[in-house]
Amino acid sequence: MTRPGSAGRSVRRIQVSIPLDDDELRALRGALLAARATELSELQRRAGRLNLGYGSDTIREAMDDEVAHLRRRWDMLDRLIAALDEAAPDRPA
C-alpha cells in the first residue's frame, strides 16, 4: 500500500494501544503538540537558511535532506495528533 508523498515506498500500518485516563490523554496530546511546534520551528529555521542560499552546494544539499526529514517528522506528529483526536473525539483537548 502506498500513500501520496511516500514516493512509491511501501507503507506499513501500525496500531498502538495505550490505556489512558483523561488527564493522561490531555498530557499526551500536549506533549505531541509541543513536539510538533518544536519540529515546525526547526523546519522553518532550516528551510529559511536553505532558501537564503547559505553555504556551499554540498551543505545546501545536506540541508535539503534535513528539511525533508523534518517535514516527515512534523507530518508524523500531525498525523498522531489527528489519530488521537479521532480516537477520543468526546474528550476535551
Question: What are the per-10-residue average pLDDT scores of the chain (93 residues)?
Answer: 62 89 93 96 85 74 84 94 85 52
Residue with cell 506499513: 12
Please classify residue 73 by burial: count the beta carbons closer than 10 Å to its beta carbon, then call 0-12 exposed, 13-18 middle and 19+ buried. Answer: middle
- The pLDDT value recorded for residue 33 is 97
Judged on CB neighbours under 10 Å (0-12, 13-18, 19+), 74 is buried
pLDDT tens figures, 38-54: 999 998 888 887 777 77
The pTM (predicted TM-score) of the whole model is 0.71
| Confidence at residue 19, expressed as pLDDT on a 0 to 100 scale | 92
**Cβ–Cβ under 8 Å, residues 84 and 29:** yes
pLDDT at residue number 1? 43
